[in-house]
Structures are given as structure tokens and as C-alpha cells.
Amino acid sequence: MSLNEEVEVLRSVPLFAKIEPSKLKLLAFTSERLTFPAGGELFHQGDPGEAAYIILSGQADVVIDTPTGEMAVAKVGKNDLVGEIAILIDVPRTATIRAETEITTLAINKDLFFRMISEFPGMAVEIMRELAHRLEATTAQLREASNG
């Protein structure tokens, strides 16, 4: 997969959707492409977060630890972004991501991400907007839940 294709994938991620293509290209170029074998972990619940991953190909399970053992709660696949919360704020990983098949990702390193944001404030605005959307959606869900 070449750089241009990676840029296409990045554009399909909502968090990055409205960012200029040339900036996305820089983000893609400076990010590391990482391949995990099937069964490998992108990260483990409780670990400090260093990078977010955009899945370029393959599938992975989202697994959380429960008192009764591990529980798979969701699946992620192509074009999904995982681990972005941990690079925005310093919280430990809230779940484990384990590759189901061999999986190729674009790893966006925390430092790199903040460098990009501080260099291109437009990007920060877009990301803020996206996060506000999410908050709005969560609040709506919460309201629905408490009403219903």
C-alpha cells in the first residue's frame, strides 16, 4: 500500500476527515506502518498509551478484562481508529486489542500527533469539532437512557 492509499484510509477516519490532504499525507509519511501477526496484541489493557492505530487491513478483537476473565466486546477492522483516547489524554489503555488475522496498521505516535497539531492549528479545530460531536452523541445517548 503506497502513501497515497494510506492517505485515502486516513480521510475515511472521521477524526481526520476534514483535514487537508497534504497534512494527512505528512501524517501518513511520518507515521510508522506496523504489521502484527494473528494473535499479536496492538496494546494491552492498563498499559500506558503511546500511539493510536489506524487499521489498514485485517481484523482485531477488542477485549476487556473482567473479574471472570477476558471478554471480547467488539471487533474492529479496516479504516477503524483505535487507541486515540490514550494519545489525547494520559490514561492507561481501557481495553486490549488483539489481532484476529494478520493486521496492518498505521501507528500514529503521540509526540508526532501533537507536533502536527501544534504546527497546524486547523487540524486541532477539526479534531475538536469531531470530539464535540462525539460528546454531543454521548450526551444524547445518556439523555435517552435516563429518559427511557
Partner 1 sequence: MEPSIYRYIIKFSLRQQIILTLMAIASFPFLYAFYQLPKMIIDDAILAKDTVFPVEVAGIELDQTGFLWLLCSAFLLLVIVNQGFKYIINLYAGITGERMLRRLRFDLFARILRFPLPQFRKTSSGEMVTMITAEVEPLGGFVGDAFKLPVFQGGYLLVILAFLFVQNWIMALAAVALYPLQGYLIPKLQRRVNLMGKERVRRVRELSASIGETAAGIQEVHTHNTARRELAVFSRRLGAIYDVRLQIYIWKFIIKFLNNSINQLGPFCFYAIGGWLVINGDLEFGALFAAIAAHKDLAAPWKDLLNFYQRQADAKIKYEQVIEQFQPAGMMEEDRQLGEPEGINALKGDISASGLSLGDDTGAILVDSASFTLDMTEHVALVGGGGSGKEETTQLLAGLLEPTGGNLQIGSEKIEDLPEAVTGRRLAYVGPAAYLFATTMRDNLLYGVQHVPLREASYDEEGRRAHDQWLAEATASGNSTDDPNANWIDYAATGTGDDEELLKRIFDVLQIVGLDDDIYTLGLRGNIDPASQADLASQFLKARAEFRDRLTDPDIAALVEGFDPGKYNENATLGENLLFGTPVGDAFDMDNLARNKYVISVLESQGLIDDLLDAGQQIASTMTELFADLPAGHPFFEQFSFISSDDLPEFQAVLTRINRDGVGTLRPEERTMILSLPFKISPARHRLGIIDEQLQNRILVAREAFAENLPEEYRGGIEFFDVDGFNTAATLQDNILFGKLAYGQAGGAERVGEIMSAVIDDLDLRTAVMEVGLGFHVGIGGGRLSGAQRQKLGIARAIMKRPDVLILNEATGSLDGAAQSALLTAMRSEMDGRGLIWAVHRASMAQDFQNILVMKSGRVIEQGNWDQLNKDGNELYELVKSE
Q: b/e per residue, 13-38, with b = 16+ CB within 10 A?
A: bebbeebeeebbebbbeebeeeebee
Give the residue with the Cβ less far from partner 1, 60 or 136: 60
Q: Does 22 bind partner 1 (CB under 8 A)?
A: yes
**Minimum CB separation from partner 1 for residue 20, in Å?**
9
Report the C-alpha gap between 54 and 26 in whole angstroms.
Answer: 15
Stretch that binds partner 1, among 20-28, 65-73, 77-85, 124-132 (CB under 8 A): 20-28
Q: Does 29 bind partner 1 (CB under 8 A)?
A: yes
Choosing from 30, 94, 101, 139, the residue that interacts with partner 1 (CB under 8 A) is: 30
**Minimum CB separation from partner 1 for residue 28, in Å?**
8
Residue 66: its H or E element: strand 60-66
Stretch that binds partner 1, among 37-45, 67-75, 80-88, 89-97 (CB under 8 A): 37-45
State the chain's maximal CA–CA distance in angstroms: 49
Q: Does 119 bind partner 1 (CB under 8 A)?
A: yes
According to DSSP, the residues that pair with 49 across neighbouring strands are none
Grid cell 471478554 in the structure block, residue: 71
Sort residue 79 into left (φ over 0), alpha (ψ -120 to 50) or beta: left
Tell me which residues touch partner 1 (CB under 8 A). 1-4, 6, 22-23, 25-26, 29-30, 32-37, 40, 42, 104, 115, 119-120
